[in-house]
Amino acid sequence: MALNNIDGIENGVQEIQVNKQSGKSSRMLFIAKWWLLFVNIACCAVGTIGGPLLLRLYFLHGGTRKWIPGWLQTVGFPIHLIPIAVLYSRRTPGVKFMASPKLLLCAAVIGVFGGLDNFMYSLGLSYLPVSTSSLLLATQLAFTAFFSFIIARQKFTPFSINAVVLMTLGAIMLGLRSNGDRPQGVTSAEYMLGFILTIAAAGLLGFILPVTEVTYAKATKSITYSIVLQFQFCTALFSTIFCSIGMLINKDFQAIPREASQFGLGQQKYYFLLASSALVWQLMFLGIMGTIFCTNSLFAGIMNATLLPLTQVAGVIVFKEKFTGEKGMALTLSIWGFASYFYGAYRDNKKQTHKEPEDK
């Protein structure tokens, strides 16, 4: 559960020049780890909050294609080449830079599952309001906790248990008044399909996170931050290939110009929406992978669940959705749960930092 539970994290921090000298004190390393974690959380927040809003905007103003939204979530993967190139130019002598073929093969398999997850989530969102979709997606925390215990042998502490319970209560609170929010033009059958697809997407995401953690931990060499970027690049590449095949079969590529000309906000804004969606979603996935690198899959799941109520707040502001008392309580419980887990991780990492000089 501590921040340094993944072998090789010190080398990863060194690669981004947070701690180049091995003689740095453990306190400096401790601060560097937390700064790296904060950067990844910020990236994840931008994507988790902005991504669903952009996709919902696509559907509200005339977007009807089923594969394009899922494709947009990973098609921006070439952007990872920029930080990879920067890190390569500043690589630390003696530290292996390139990921192993076995690790990239695992990334490819995870990418295929990720492409399926993106498709199910996007199709579910086409039938649901942002608030309801966020509520259902929050169940991924329970799936992540379950699969982390089974696959990653993740140990639970009073702080992590408290966080899971609080966020589960928040999800239940949000569900108290989920009836009657079916969007105009959506049938009861489509609405139910949206429920099923979103829950399935949450379950698959809850499976992908601990699998990624185990893949990191069982790598034949230390996982550095540059390798995390390469891993995410390969994952997004194969997710994009998966969705591209679906688009080819469904003839979505040919439909883009026609859909752009009929888009409610105009043709230029249509293409701007697609481009910004691709960028925002990549920030989210990069943030998730980086968070798993710094901590573990359960923390990544808790962080993602914490941001979902904030997505609802953004939906209230952007789409004029009602912000009920239940949503306010859910937001409070989610922040409380995240603070509980974050404080527990901070305490454990601080204790381990103080033990390091004694061990030497």
- pLDDT for 33: 72
Give 10-residue mean pLDDT values along the chain (360 residues). 38 43 59 79 88 88 90 91 84 75 92 94 86 76 79 76 75 59 77 87 90 83 80 93 95 93 92 93 84 75 73 75 68 74 72 55
pLDDT value of residue 11: 45
DSSP code at position 77 = G
Task: Say what the pTM is.
Answer: 0.75
> What is the C-alpha to C-alpha distance for residues 204 and 242, in angstroms, rounded to an integer?
16
Neighbours of 307 (CB within 10 A): 22
Q: What is the pLDDT of residue 234?
A: 93
pLDDT at residue 248 in the model: 95
Q: What is the pLDDT of residue 26?
A: 66
pLDDT for the residue numbered 15: 44
Distance of CA 280 to the CA centre of its chain: 11
- Residue-level pLDDT at 20: 43
